[in-house]
Amino acid sequence: MIEYGHLIHRFGHLDGRALLEPMLREVFPGRLGVVSSFGAESAVLLHMVSDVDRSVPVIFLETGKLFAETLVYRDRLISHLGLDDVRSVAPDAQALERRDPDGSLHASDPDACCHVRKVAPLERALAGLQAWVTGRKRFHGGTRARLATLEPAEWRLKINPLARWSREDVERYMDAHHLPRHPLEAQGFTSIGCAPCTQPPGPGGGLRDGRWAGTDKTECGIHWTVNGRPIRQASRS
């Protein structure tokens, strides 16, 4: 198991590229992956990764329920940034046949749908890695409001280089580096996940209010609390 304390003491005050670079090159070379949804703000983190090391594996959860625009955007960013190792990870076919044979599980049990389409595939994809990088930020609110830049998650370390960034920081970075925007942003989407469970937020709503709208669900389940338990436990059968 990784000893987190000294890493947090040494690097916890850093963010952005200043945190990402030593994590990729010094602390976890060859033992780290970047997880990206290729969503509305993903270009910022992926641009930093491409600047530091384009060969770092980028894990993309291809749930089978994504917007076509997200898949187009993924391919555009891969080409634009020259990313060398983007791994599109799909759900296990047998698990889908058993749990979601008609593709409607999201309507009756969104936690279970997220588990079979995202949580379980990600765990397989992270096998053998000691750390992973996310693009989560505190200004997204909810459970992310007090997000640390270095976050223990069971036997791996989760690295959140943009945790302390503001929405204005993200916009400035996108503009400064001329990064392409997700096509659904123009339609009012501010947080983009699977098509059946994502809509633009209503007037005055938060950035993630369009995710699982009308339910108390706010996270897909791939992000864990510091005590090693999932924020929401997907039902299993």
Between CA 38 and CA 45 the distance in angstroms is 10
Between CA 195 and CA 133 the distance in angstroms is 24
- Closest-CA residue to 207 (of 232, 189, 180, 182): 189
- Closest-CA residue to 158 (of 191, 135, 128, 127): 135
Catalytic residue check, 220: yes
Strand partners, 59: 35, 87
Buried b (16+ CB within 10 A) or exposed e, 71-100: eebbeebbebbebeebeebebeeeebeebb
Which of 113, 194, 197, 220 is an active site residue?
220
Residue found under tokens 């983190």: 45
Residue type, 1: M
Read off the DSSP letter of residue 162.
T
* Backbone region of residue 163 per phi and psi (left: phi > 0; alpha: psi in -120 to 50; beta: other values): alpha
Q: What is the dihedral of CA 59, 64, 68, 72, to 10 degrees?
A: 30
Q: Report the catalytic residues.
A: 220
